[in-house]
């Protein structure tokens, strides 16, 4: 673990701390036994007065976090659907893709490359997790097992030439050496190629209080202003922006090497950030206050439910739920068991709080009265599963966005769902 001395993007030495979530274990370090002890690392955020980047103050060794990984993209139907949309968007924007290849950095099990393969396009994945790379290769996705940066970019250039399309989804915030990583992206991209960069958006984190997305893997929380400050250093320019349903709300930035005419959406995001003061320290200090209030509200709700009917079950042993559970002090006193669709997590225990994880079938066989939806960013998908697969008619606790809510699954309608706008 290292403590940063300056901003990760612009190297300003006067960053300001505004939120401390305490010492926490790495979010994906699931345990084999309930008595196993895991390392704890500080989890706190600072803001940069120069480029306005929101960032973690400490960096855990990436090899400890990513060399053996438990998140598998293909286990989420939402991600699978998004992969199809992503493919259609790329082939619409790049008309001569058959003359080159698609490179995905942090490609995981290859879910987002599968549609390209099925349509006869050449692809290459890069991912540092040995166990996940084996899954990708077994599924027909050629994948290089490595941490991406300038050196790996040069190796790819020598073997395959520049890429017509480079995809980097949900990876930039995870990168400890940002300059080396983005330099590598710029080098491996064809002069007229397209970089599709998906990042969890700090604007959505701020608006909807996604403090559970803060964990050691996510080193940076980008606004458009702060990510452009990084990209411009390496001759990369945002030309268009789409929104993604992943991680509770992300941005897909379409980036080119040449400063072309940008879509009106790009300036619209800049204007909105300025109007909302999203890049101001005062806004993030207010965010910190709202986080503390949310913890008190959630614990009060949990105590009322467990006092009345005993411990709940959870659904979705996601990385983000680790922050929520550890910061709020929610352990087996409140949640007896957690369901997860990923077999790699079954018979494991949550990091820090040591709650057992099992298959949805095993957990729902307990006939719970209340389900805590920990992976709340997949609420629509999870409630559909509860209703259709398990005929569940009980209540659910949905901790975020904003104020925690409790409702019957029968009253939940995804088509008519309104965002929880309660302010804290």
pLDDT-derived band of residue 69, with 50, 70 and 90 as boundaries? low
Same domain, 138 and 250: yes
What is the average per-residue pLDDT within 330-347?
95
Same domain, 250 and 332: no
- In this predicted structure, what is the pLDDT of residue 250? 85
The vertex-24 CA angle with 203 and 317, nearest 5°, equals 70
Residue 85 lies in a domain: yes
Same domain, 234 and 339: no
Between 77-93 and 379-388, two packed helices, what is the crossing angle to 10 degrees?
A: 130
- In this predicted structure, what is the pLDDT of residue 414? 56
Give the total number of structural domains in the chain: 2
The vertex-251 CA angle with 268 and 413, nearest 5°, equals 100
Same domain, 269 and 314: no
Is pLDDT larger for residue 258 or for residue 167?
167
Would you say residue 13 has pLDDT above 60?
Answer: yes
What is the average per-residue pLDDT within 75-87?
78
Would you say residue 78 has pLDDT above 80?
Answer: no
Residue 194 lies in a domain: yes
Would you say residue 257 has pLDDT above 90?
Answer: yes
Same domain, 354 and 401: yes
Residue 298 lies in a domain: no
- Does residue 55 contact residue 69 with C-beta atoms inside 8 Å? no
Residue 57 lies in a domain: no
| Tens of pLDDT, residues 275-332 | 999 999 999 999 999 999 999 999 999 999 999 988 999 999 998 999 999 999 999 9
Helix (H, G, I), strand (E, B) or coil at 335: strand
This prediction's pTM? 0.88
Same domain, 273 and 313: no
Helix (H, G, I), strand (E, B) or coil at 37: coil
Q: What element of type H or E holds 197?
A: strand 189-200
Q: Which of 240, 264, 279 is the last residue of a domain?
A: 279
Residue 374 lies in a domain: yes
CATH number at residue 381: 3.40.50.720
- Does residue 50 contact residue 225 with C-beta atoms inside 8 Å? no
Distance CA 251, CA 269 (A): 11
Using CB atoms within 10 A of its CB, is residue 180 exposed (0-12), middle (13-18) or buried (19+)?
middle
Q: Which domain holds residue 165?
A: 73-279
Would you say residue 268 has pLDDT above 80?
Answer: yes
Same domain, 187 and 319: no
- Does residue 296 contact residue 69 with C-beta atoms inside 8 Å? no
| Tens of pLDDT, residues 214-232 | 999 899 999 999 999 999 9
Among residues 96, 90, 15, 53, which one has the least CA distance to residue 231?
53
Phi, psi values for residue 199, rounded to 5°: -135, 140
- In this predicted structure, what is the pLDDT of residue 424? 36
The vertex-408 CA angle with 296 and 382, nearest 5°, equals 85
Would you say residue 418 has pLDDT above 60?
Answer: no
- In this predicted structure, what is the pLDDT of residue 422? 38
Same domain, 247 and 361: no
Q: What element of type H or E holds 101?
A: strand 101-105
Distance CA 418, CA 395 (A): 18
Q: Which residues contact 382 (CB under 8 A, 6 or more apart)?
A: 315, 316, 373, 375
Same domain, 113 and 254: yes
Give residue 314's Cα distance to chain centre: 20
- In this predicted structure, what is the pLDDT of residue 416? 44
Distance CA 394, CA 401 (A): 21
Residue 164 lies in a domain: yes
Same domain, 256 and 371: no
CATH number at residue 164: 3.40.50.150
Same domain, 100 and 238: yes
| Tens of pLDDT, residues 107-159 | 988 899 999 999 999 999 999 888 889 999 999 999 999 999 999 999 999 99
Same domain, 239 and 345: no
What is the average per-residue pLDDT within 394-398?
96
Distance CA 378, CA 133 (A): 25
Residue 275 lies in a domain: yes
Residue 6 lies in a domain: no
Among residues 379, 367, 366, 378, which one has the least CA distance to residue 406?
379
Would you say residue 101 has pLDDT above 50?
Answer: yes
């Amino acid at each position: 673990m290292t403590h940063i001395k300056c901003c990760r993007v612009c190297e300003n030495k006067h960053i300001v701390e505004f939120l401390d979530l305490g010492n926490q274990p790495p979010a994906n370090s699931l345990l084999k036994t309930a008595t196993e002890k895991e390392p704890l690392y500080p989890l706190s955020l600072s803001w940069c007065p120069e480029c306005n980047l929101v960032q973690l103050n400490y960096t855990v060794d990436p090899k400890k976090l990513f060399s053996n990984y438990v998140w598998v993209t293909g286990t989420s139907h939402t991600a699978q659907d998004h992969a199809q949309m992503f493919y259609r968007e790329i082939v619409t924007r790049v008309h001569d893709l058959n003359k080159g290849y698609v490179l995905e950095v942090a490609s995981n099990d290859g879910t987002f490359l599968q549609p390209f393969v099925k349509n006869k396009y050449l692809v290459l994945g890069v991912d540092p997790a040995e166990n996940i790379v084996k899954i990708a290769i077994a599924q027909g996705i050629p994948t290089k097992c490595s941490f991406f940066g300038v050196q790996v970019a040069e190796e790819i250039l020598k073997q395959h030439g520049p890429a017509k399309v480079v995809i980097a989804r949900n990876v930039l915030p995870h990168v400890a050496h940002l300059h080396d990583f983005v330099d590598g992206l710029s080098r491996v991209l064809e002069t007229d190629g397209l970089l599709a960069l998906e990042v969890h958006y700090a604007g959505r984190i701020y608006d909807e209080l996604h403090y559970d997305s803060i964990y050691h893997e996510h080193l940076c929380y980008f606004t458009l202003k702060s990510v452009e400050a990084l990209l411009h250093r390496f001759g990369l320019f945002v030309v268009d922006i789409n929104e993604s349903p992943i991680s509770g709300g992300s941005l897909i930035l379409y980036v080119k090497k040449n400063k072309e005419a940008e879509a009106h959406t790009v300036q619209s995001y800049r204007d909105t950030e300025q109007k909302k003061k999203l890049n101001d320290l005062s806004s993030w200090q207010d965010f910190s206050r709202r986080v503390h209030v949310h913890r008190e509200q959630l614990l009060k709700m949990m105590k009322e439910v467990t006092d009345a009917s005993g411990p709940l079950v959870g659904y979705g042993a996601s990385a983000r739920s680790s922050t929520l559970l550890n910061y709020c002090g929610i352990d087996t006193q409140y949640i007896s068991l957690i369901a997860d669709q990923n077999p790699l997590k079954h018979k494991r225990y949550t990091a820090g709080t040591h709650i057992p994880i099992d298959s949805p079938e095993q957990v729902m066989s307990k006939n719970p009265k209340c389900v805590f939806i920990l992976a709340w960013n997949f609420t629509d998908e999870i409630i559909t599963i509860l209703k259709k697969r398990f005929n569940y008619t009980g209540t659910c606790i949905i901790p975020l966005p904003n104020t925690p809510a409790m409702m019957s699954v029968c009253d939940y309608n995804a088509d008519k769902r309104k965002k929880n706008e309660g302010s804290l």
